[in-house]
């Protein structure tokens, strides 16, 4: 089969491209700088210069594909420039899906996120849950708007399957999640938020979930491809068991973090602040729960994400080797 990808140079998209190639499929991707996409070149991915914000740059590379994976997205917490989310997450999604419709692509998989549901207040929600209130971050807001565009095009007959990852982790991550674990390994993580919970999934499982959605997903349906649910506090306790590095003893409750977020919201209007101290970052760590039930994906797709301890062991061992730290269980 011949598949077209957006976001192939990203964390999730790169793994999807790799798994597709390993399964014997032909993969085409649009990338902003083909000359820098060395990993894709090594895989034999056919690369074309383009961008989701440039609708016409995708038309010819997409033509004739058996399926399209739209994975590209903008994610940043605490950024002062809010235009990127609008242009990439919202308008970019519209561009990709409209070109796919115009070309008559047989099936499309779009990467949404559990973050469109905002804080579920401890409720493990499924695909029928719909949130319409204010969002905690610009990423959440723009992805929710993009999801609405996808739903509208489904209603018009587009053969689209939506996948909704939760928190994605693993080797190669460049997000705040990795930053927190690096700080933990360096014993520089200042505190752990209480009650904050996510549905965690290893990036390789998320990539597999995308491919299962293409192969088995029903057009018009959404699938939560998140992994097991755990608080950040639980994840850090697992990390301590895995590495022997003690987790921070300081815990901060939602009230304190919300107060800090309000203060930083004022400060960052005047001066730039590090992402980990931005109002957005503090808000999404203030006892919120970005959690979802993957039962439908397990039942219909055969999705089976690994346990959190197994995935964290792989990720933390990888990071410890990069840092020159001894890894428990490694032999000289």
Query: Cα–chain-centroid distance for residue 93?
Result: 15
Q: What share of the chain in percent tops pLDDT 70?
A: 98
Nearest to 96 by CA among 136, 145, 150, 43: 150
Q: How many domains does the chain have?
A: 1
Residue 32, domain member (yes or no): yes
DSSP letter for 305, please: P
**Residues 230-251, mean pLDDT to the nearest whole number:** 95
Q: What is the pLDDT of residue 80?
A: 66
Residue 330, domain member (yes or no): no
Q: pLDDT (tens digit, 9 = 90+) per residue, 123-163?
A: 999 999 999 899 988 999 999 999 999 999 999 999 999 99
Does the pLDDT of residue 52 top 70, yes or no? yes
- Look up the domain containing 140 and give its range: 2-172+199-227+290-306
Residue 74, domain member (yes or no): yes
Residue 249, domain member (yes or no): no
The CATH number that applies at residue 79 is 3.40.50.720
Residue 190, domain member (yes or no): no
Q: What share of the chain in percent tops pLDDT 90?
A: 80
Residue 219, domain member (yes or no): yes
Outline where DSSP puts E strands in the chain: 2-6, 26-31, 46-49, 67-70, 108-111, 160-164, 167-169, 192-193, 197-202, 222-224, 229-231, 251-252, 289-290
Q: pLDDT (tens digit, 9 = 90+) per residue, 155-207?
A: 999 999 999 999 999 998 988 899 999 999 999 999 999 999 999 999 999 99
Residue 115, domain member (yes or no): yes
Residue 300, domain member (yes or no): yes
Q: pLDDT (tens digit, 9 = 90+) per residue, 295-324?
A: 999 999 999 999 999 999 999 999 999 999
The rounded distance, in Å, linking the Cα atoms of 174 and 242 is 21
Does the pLDDT of residue 43 top 60, yes or no? yes
Q: What is the pLDDT of residue 235?
A: 97
């Amino acid at each position: 089969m011949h598949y077209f990808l957006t976001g192939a140079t990203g964390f999730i998209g790169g793994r999807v491209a790799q798994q597709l190639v390993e399964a014997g499929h032909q993969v085409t991707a649009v990338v902003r700088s083909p000359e820098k996409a060395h990993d894709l070149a090594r895989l034999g991915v056919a690369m074309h210069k383009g961008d989701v914000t440039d609708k016409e740059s995708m038309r010819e590379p997409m033509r004739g594909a058996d399926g399209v994976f739209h994975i590209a997205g903008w994610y940043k917490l605490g950024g002062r420039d809010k235009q990127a989310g609008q242009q990439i997450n919202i308008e970019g999604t519209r561009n990709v899906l409209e070109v796919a419709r115009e070309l008559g692509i047989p099936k499309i998989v779009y990467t949404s996120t559990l973050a469109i549901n905002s804080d579920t207040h401890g409720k493990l929600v499924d695909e029928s849950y719909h949130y319409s209130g204010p969002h905690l971050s610009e990423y959440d807001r723009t992805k929710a708007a993009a999801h609405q565009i996808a739903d509208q095009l489904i209603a018009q007959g587009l053969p689209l399957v939506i996948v909704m990852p939760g928190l994605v982790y693993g080797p190669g991550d460049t997000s705040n999640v990795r930053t927190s674990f690096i700080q933990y390994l360096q014993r520089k993580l200042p505190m752990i938020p209480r009650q904050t919970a996510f549905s965690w999934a290893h990036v390789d499982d998320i990539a597999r979930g995308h491919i299962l959605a293409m192969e088995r997903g029903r057009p018009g349906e959404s699938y939560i491809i998140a992994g097991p649910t755990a608080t950040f506090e639980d994840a850090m306790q697992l990390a301590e068991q895995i590495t022997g590095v003690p987790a921070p003893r300081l815990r901060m409750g939602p009230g304190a973090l919300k107060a800090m977020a309000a203060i930083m919201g004022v400060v960052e209007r005047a001066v730039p602040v590090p992402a980990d101290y931005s109002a957005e970052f503090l808000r999404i760590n203030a006892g919120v729960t970005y959690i979802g039930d993957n039962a439908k994906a397990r039942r219909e797709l055969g999705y089976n994400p690994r346990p959190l301890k197994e995935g964290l062991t792989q990720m933390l061992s990888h990071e410890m080797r990069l840092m020159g730290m001894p890894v428990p269980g490694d032999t000289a």
